[in-house]
Chains A and B, each alone.
Chain A
Amino acid sequence: MKENAPGVSQNGGTPPEAVLAIPQTKQGAVARLVTIFGSLGITGDKRVHYVFDAGDSDYREIVRPGDRPLDSIARSVPAAAWYEREIHDQYGIEFVGQPDPRPLIFHDNWPDAVHPMVDPVDDVPWSNREYRFLQVEGEGIAEVAVGPVHAGVIEPGHFRFSVVGDTVLHLELRHFYTHKGTEKLFEGSSVAAAAMLAESVSGDNCFAHAACYSQAVENAYGIDIPARASAIRLIGLELERLVCHISDVGGLCTDVGFGVAAAYAARIKESLLQASSQCCGTRYWRGIAAPGGLRFDFDSSKVFALSQCVAQAHRDFSDLARLILETPSIQNRFETAGILSLKAARDLAVVGVVARASGMDLDVRRNHPYGRYGLYQFEVPVTHYGDVMARAKIRIAEAAISARLIQETAAALPEGSVSVPILVQGEVRSSSAVESPRGELYYWLEARDGKLTRCHIKSPSFQNWPAMPPAVAGNIIADFPLINKSFNLSYSGCDR
């Protein structure tokens, strides 16, 4: 078994294609868009990389030259819209026919002419551009502006609702308040050190980011990590999923005023974080995954203790979940709220729990197995209702599967070393995908002599945020926090 599929991208060196032929699946459908991003060739020529998933074991990558304007694919592949706007902001590449040419990641304070991936960024002047929200016109229509600072311990972002009475006609998102220029910060960093930057892309999914980044480096240099490191990574990834799903179900209870159940979920979550702290000295598994394996070995007895805590947390959580789902007021609030149709889900190429709750059967762990996932049989829960209840049920089902995978792995933890040295030399390009708690996370990187020259992060949140407006439209505005929580997207992961 290959430890680190999906493998090295093949076409970094092939000449760019002038016309984009969007790949198709075996059934003749348009392939799912994974990501689009820009890069610079060695002579400074701009390139645009399109990555698709056509249902094969590897992703399909197509590279086009970006020095002249490109035709936008956003009208036929709506999921491309935000990517094209991001690439325009970063590289100044024009997309002809882009339905929404407004800036995305930079706000009014950023000058039009500065594109940080190609221009110098020392002392960028403060500018005062105008941003126009979409206007919904008609009798009785009111606008409600929310954010960027929200009421609660939440990340910043702006929501502009156009409502008639209580009903939301249209929701416009304006995000990227937490944009920190992370992709640019990767450039020039050593491949070994950048894992800690990956950990700070989205703090609650830090281990998935570190593992995905490390896997991309390992793919680049053709390295297989030791079985023990791979097994411990699997435990970390599944634990992160378990913690997130428990936390999200608790958060849903908070948003419908079911405080007792929310506190109960918070208690189970905290027990897992404290067990992690006992096991490896960090509550969220920061500073553990690194290119080549793990930074240090784990004490097998402590891993066993963690697995026992997971077993207890699983028992407590399944009991709680059953009680939550049997509560009529919960059923009343969760069912039919925030329906995301299968068509909208496919058009926007959503991933993760959101996709599986709307009938898209995809999971990187099964479709593109990496690490030790190929060794396990596990179910991928899918349902077609697409409402808050569907997303809650998927999370509950997945939490049980994660708990089982952790216990099975901990019970048969391979012996041996946890790290192999990597000889970082030459020019390399590679990619890697991981099923993070929010869905498909994809890293693409390019390095010369051990220094990163480009690192692109496709975060599941960036992919899923555009699916929020169609899910919210038609609901009452008071249900928005609940629908938002059921998606549970990261602002920082999206904004980077």
Chain B
Amino acid sequence: MILDVIVRSLRQRDRLIPVEALLGNCDGSRMPDVVAELLTPAIAEKLLEVCPTAAFGIEEHEGHRCLQLSYGQCIGCGKCMEAGQGSVIAAQRFDWCGVAKPETVRSWDIDARAEITPHVPSPEQARGQIHSLLQRALNIRQLDAGSCNGCEMEITALTNPYYDLERFGIHFVASPKHADMLLVTGPVTRNMADAVRATYEAVPAPKLVIAVGACGCSGGVFAGSHAIVGAVDAVIPVDGYIPGCPPTPAMLAAGILAVLRRRIAK
């Protein structure tokens, strides 16, 4: 009976994913990356046309035409990869979890075929960075503002034996009054707007807020609906954004740690 269950669990090999393998990992998220060398004006126009959530844009920047990709709007549907003739591929690495809003947008100079302020992957000092976070605890209250429950499934997965967020001293709590951080999913619906504000009010300062998923970051596929108010930042202040539809547990873990790191560095 219960002893049998424990014996079976002890026989299992260790599934814990080391922190180095979590940060930057976006397997299963279908987030896109742009191969700047292959960009042409025609392809850029095509990307704008096929994207269902208007995540792509074209803007003038110092006399150059620039392709912009807003990860907060991307639902990872892969239409751009189908239409991009090789210029859009599935991202091998993703470092835009937990970043501030302006950083969720990347730009490429279409004529020069290069990224503007290209992203340099953070040095592989993950373990050291995480060590600086240890000896602390973080209490998270998850708040569903109208999500489809896809993000909830992945947040729940954070506590399974593969991701085990508790190893970082991070703990999900039942009350906003016990929380340091709100992890808010979904577009904020009209029917949830008051509850979202009240929950935010109940969190003691400093209130950290992360908007999770395409809906939390931008409204996602529900942007423009009569029944929603908007993205999370339309209702309460947001410290960091975790894109994805839904973000994978690795992306969630990376995003939570990134926001925490920024907070401690302040």
Instruction: Give me the interface of A with B, judged by CB distance under 8 Å.
Output: 106-107, 109-110, 116, 121-122, 124, 148-149, 151-156, 176-182, 184-185, 193, 196-197, 200-204, 206, 258, 260-261, 263-264, 266-267, 269-270, 273-274, 276-277, 281-284, 286-287, 295, 319-320, 323-324, 326-328, 490-493
Contact = CB atoms under 8 A, between A and B. Distances in A.
A180 B149 contact: no
B172 interface: yes
A175 to B, nearest CB: 9
Given A286-B30, A295-B78, A154 B144 contact: yes
A493 B82 CA distance: 30
A164 B12 CA distance: 46
A196 B224 CA distance: 16
Contacts of A193: 52
B107 to A, nearest CB: 25
Nearest to A179: B227
Nearest to B222: A180
Of A110, A121, A149, A490, most buried by chain B (CB within 10 Å of CB) is A149
Interface in B195-215: 195, 199, 215
Contacts of A261: 5
B225 A181 contact: yes
A148 B5 CA distance: 35
B8 A319 contact: yes
Given A107-B191, A203-B147, A323-B1, A153 B220 contact: no
Contact of A110 (B27, B146, B147, B190): B190
29 contacts: A107-B190, A109-B190, A121-B226, A124-B226, A149-B199, A151-B175, A153-B156, A155-B144, A177-B146, A177-B191, A177-B195, A178-B191, A179-B191, A179-B227, A180-B225, A185-B224, A196-B221, A197-B221, A200-B148, A200-B221, A203-B148, A203-B150, A203-B153, A267-B160, A273-B28, A281-B28, A281-B90, A287-B78, A490-B149
Contacts of B15: 267, 270
Identify the interface centre among B12, B15, B77, B191: most chain A CB within 10 Å of its CB: B191
B161 interface: yes
Interface in B153-198: 153-157, 159-162, 172, 174-176, 186-187, 189-195
Interface in B40-83: 52, 75-78, 82
A267 B12 contact: yes
A267 B5 contact: no
Nearest to A266: B160
A27 to B, nearest CB: 38
B5 A260 contact: yes
A270 B9 contact: no
Kindly list the 4 A-B residue pairs having the minimum CB-CB distance in the complex, ordered from nearest.
A203-B150, A277-B28, A151-B174, A181-B227
B153 A204 contact: yes
A107 B224 CA distance: 19
Contacts of B33: none
A178 B222 contact: no
Given A270-B160, A283-B248, A491-B149, A323 B190 contact: no
Given A270-B162, A286-B77, 12 more contacts: A116-B227, A121-B226, A152-B172, A153-B155, A156-B144, A184-B225, A203-B152, A266-B156, A270-B15, A283-B28, A324-B5, A492-B148
Contacts of B23: none
B39 interface: no
B27 A178 contact: no
A179 B227 CA distance: 7
A492 B227 contact: no
A202 B148 CA distance: 5
A277 to B, nearest CB: 3
A327 B4 CA distance: 10
A260 B152 CA distance: 21
Contacts of A156: 144-146, 192, 195
Contacts of B150: 200, 203-204, 206, 284, 286
B157 A203 contact: no
A332 B162 CA distance: 31
Contacts of A493: 149
A327 B30 contact: no
A493 B148 CA distance: 7
B120 interface: no
B77 A287 contact: yes
Contacts of B187: 180
A328 B82 CA distance: 54
A286 B174 contact: no
Most A CB atoms within 10 A — which of B6, B142, B226? B226
